[in-house]
Amino acid sequence: MMRAGTFGACRKWRPTAMLAAVLCAPGGAFAAATTVAVEHFGELADGTPVDLYTLKSSALEVSITNYGGRIVTLKTADRSGRVDDVVLGYDGFAPYLTGRPFFGAVVGRYANRIARGRFTLDGHTYQLPINNNGNSLHGGLVGFDKRLWQGRIEGNGVLLTYLSKDGEEGYPGNLTATVRYRVVRNELRVEYGATTDRDTVVNLSNHSYFNLAGAGNGNILGHELTIYADRFTPLDATQIPTGELRSVAGTPFDFRRPHAIGERIDADDDQLRIGHGYDENWVLNAYPGKPALALVAYEPVSGRVMEVLTDQPGLQLFSGNFLGPLTGKGGRTYDVRSAFCVETQHFPDSPNHRDFPSTLLRPGQVFKSTTIFRFSTRR
């Protein structure tokens, strides 16, 4: 059974099937109606219920669970009007408890890698769990992707809140993290926030796996990408940044003009060998400031286009190099390179690189960040 809320300063619409949230323009005229509803999705091992929120406009339908703050489905039309789900995941709740491959999840307290799981703050060295090639990845063994967030319908979306207690996964400070998902016409807006009572580090991102042809519909090598970045952060053998900001010119990482993901993915390049394909952080040209265009993805068969806008300094492109084989939605097989991730972020291992944009958060400060996923089609 679904529950829902209502927002806006206009008259309330209450369909018999469910209560819906409707966005209205000033004066009472509908601007871009968005409905928001919540239903039961499953239970944790101790019986705690897990919810699924569905946000729907005329152009998008997005489902979010408060377990890991995950995007479970994202449905949008192709150039002929056919609607498909373009994010990988599972049909029910139980498979998400297995953890990886982070389908749709909010990753934190620190998205991406921290070298050897160590950083020093205020003269104290903190040790985090090691869970990836000698490093700490995406917050450790039990990161934000494996936590139950508190959720509530708010406006044209859902607000999720999680209290990460002092010492959780080795991080200092009681950190209150929020993620607000909103659907506005053809856009999914993801707004992150955090406060702390002790000096700490924070880097939040979303780990959705996209296939604009439809989840489970072949590989993503034909997707054409444009990335608005002149530089990237090369990695050592354990996928930790060396500290260099290297020009993309003359490398397979130059997406300043559109290139298919598969065009150069197997080129003779040491960085591609380290990641077994693309798994790199790009230094975005437009940082800092308000959200600016960072990436455009185009799938030529369906005609779907996804634009990614962010106010973060970096963007991680992961070409699904270690996916599958596993069974996903509708019994379809997800295999290697059957989806790609676009993780807006601060750079990997920033706490150990003074020249990188800082991820330090102090008491009294508020971490805020916005990423927008905008969908359309080309003829």
Active-site residues, by number, are 207, 343
The token pair at 187 is 């856009």
Q: To which H or E segment does residue 275 belong?
A: helix 270-275
Please report, for residues 30, 52, 54, 290, the alpha-carbon distance to residue 12 in angstroms, rounded to integers and kept in the order given.
Answer: 12, 23, 19, 33
Asked if 309 and 371 count as a contact pair (C-beta separation under 8 A), the reply is yes
Quote the CA–CA distance of 205 and 50 in Å, as a whole number: 21
User: Which of the 8 DSSP states describes residue 363?
Assistant: T
Quote the CA–CA distance of 163 and 172 in Å, as a whole number: 13
Produce one character per residue of 300-320: b if its CB has 16 or more CB atoms within 10 Å, e if not: eebbbbbbbbbbbbbbbbbbb
Can you say whether the dihedral through the CA atoms of 73, 77, 83, 86 is positive or negative?
Answer: negative
Measured from the Cβ of residue 288, the count of other Cβ atoms closer than 10 Å reads 10
Backbone angles phi, psi at 263, to 5 degrees: -60, -40
Please report, for residues 79, 145, 272, 355, the alpha-carbon distance to residue 235 in angstroms, rounded to integers and kept in the order given.
Answer: 38, 25, 10, 16
Residue with tokens 């890698």: 113
Residue type, 1: M
